[in-house]
Amino acid sequence: MIIGFVIAWTTFSMSQDSETNPRSKIFPNIKEFHQEFNALADKLRSEGLDFYKQRNVGGKDSKMAYFIINESEQDIHGKPLPPPIQDLLKYTKLGIFFDIVDIPSDFFRSKHFRLEIITLPSGETVKFAGGIKRQKGFYRLLTPSRIIVALLVSALVCILWARYLSRPILELRLAVHKLSQGDLNVRVSHNIGRRGDEITALANDFDNMAEQLQKLINSQHQLLRDISHELRSPLARQQIALELLRKKVGKDTETEIDRIEKEAILLSELIAQLLTLSRLETDDVIIEKSSFDLFELLKDIVQDAEFEAHAHDCHVTLSSGKAMKIMANPDMLRSAIENIIRNAIRYTHKDTTVDVQLVSQTHGRAMIKITDKGKGVPEESLSDIFKPFTRVDDARSRNNGGYGIGLSITQRIIQAHQGEVIARNTPEAGLQIEIFIPGLVKP
- Residue of 178, 149, 51 lying closest to 170 (CA atoms): 178
CA distance 369 to 358: 7
Q: Can you tell me whether residue 425 is helix, strand or coil?
A: strand
Cα–Cα distance list, 423 to 114, 377, 383, 434 (Å):
90, 9, 7, 6
CB of 244 within 8 A of CB of 184?
no
Residue 100 C-beta-side C-alpha neighbours within 13 Å: 10
CA distance 38 to 114: 10
CA distance 357 to 345: 16
CA distance 122 to 229: 126
- Residue of 297, 335, 336, 332 lying closest to 318 (CA atoms): 297
φ/ψ region of 178 (left if φ > 0, alpha if ψ in -120 to 50, else beta) reads alpha
CB of 356 within 8 A of CB of 368?
yes
CB of 326 within 8 A of CB of 439?
yes
Active site residue 229: yes
Residue 91 C-beta-side C-alpha neighbours within 13 Å: 16
Helices assigned H by DSSP within 281-389: 294-309, 330-347
Check 77, 112, 221, 229 and give the catalytic one: 229
Q: Which helix (H) or strand (E) holds 157?
A: helix 144-180
Which positions are annotated as active-site residues?
229
